[in-house]
Amino acid sequence: MVRANKLRRWLIVLTALVGAITCGPSALADGVDVGKPSRLRNLVPASGLEKQAAQEYAQLKAQAAKQHALGPDNHPQVKRLRAIAARIIPFAGRFNPNASHWKWEINLIGSKQINAFCMPGGKIAFYSGILDTLKLSDDEVAMVMGHEIAHALREHARERAAKSQVTRLGATLLGELLGGGGYTSALQIGGNLLSLKFSRDDESEADIVGLDLAARAGFDPRAGVSLWQKMMAANSRAPLEFLSTHPGGDGRIKKIEKHLPQVMPLYQKARKSR
């Protein structure tokens, strides 16, 4: 009887969580519309995740500084990155109103890695390898930056953390049903593998939102195509770590091209006003 009541409570919780995933459409007047973020992310406090990100970012900077790999404020590439960010960030509130309260940081780390990221709360870092190896134009840098900022604005890390919690809860429930908890560990592993598909969806969404942000800031969104052509060419010579977490290919370019008609008017408008 006790076990039955316990399972019943878990079922109620899981039902409520599934209901929280459904989101209504957003009402954006122009540009791209990717809908509202999943309410499931509310299971994880944003403040806690942003605090953790700030701590990890500070540790990364400290380690880079110790290795003389942190770009100084007067470094030409640091100035360049911050100038591009200064044009993009004012449009961040369109996709996340809380972004206006974030303590944005943009830094350059000296490394051959072809990588860049934006952590929750607006902590951005570019590795010099992505700039030097791919010889990125300002428009292409804006495509990378817009994409990474989009991950933070859409709170993909927060959503994935929440989904992991649901997966663990579901695995615990099924483990109890199948064998009094004896199968829980195996089911958690299976659940984690299934959650990998969310990262692919997140990447596609970040591409689309990043195009919108960069176009509004006056950067040519068509650079998204040339960026990924460069990525694919570099990957053909040697596997890129960036593509291990950012799936590439012709399909990705086609998706970008599909959304260009939505963002080109934003770019053209921005160019006229500059």
148 flagged as catalytic: yes
Instruction: Kindly give the pairing relationship between strand 116-119 and strand 123-127.
Output: antiparallel
Q: Under 8 Å CB-to-CB from 239, ≥6 apart: which residues?
A: none
Report yes or no: 109 and 132 within 8 Å, Cβ to Cβ: no
DSSP result, 172-230: HHHHHHHHTTTTHHHHHHHHHHHTHHHHHHHHHHHHHHHHHHHHHTT--TTHHHHHHHH
221 burial level (CB within 10 Å; 0-12, 13-18, 19+): buried
DSSP result, 20-73: HH--PPP--SSS----PPPGGGGGS-HHHHHHHHHHHHHHHHHHHHHTT-BPPT
Report yes or no: 212 and 31 within 8 Å, Cβ to Cβ: yes
How far is C-alpha 146 from the chain's CA centre?
A: 10
Catalytic residue, chosen from 50, 140, 148, 203, is: 148
What is the C-alpha to C-alpha distance for residues 130 and 77, in angstroms, rounded to an integer? 12
In which element (H, E) is residue 125 found? strand 123-127
Q: Give the residue numbers marked as catalytic.
A: 148
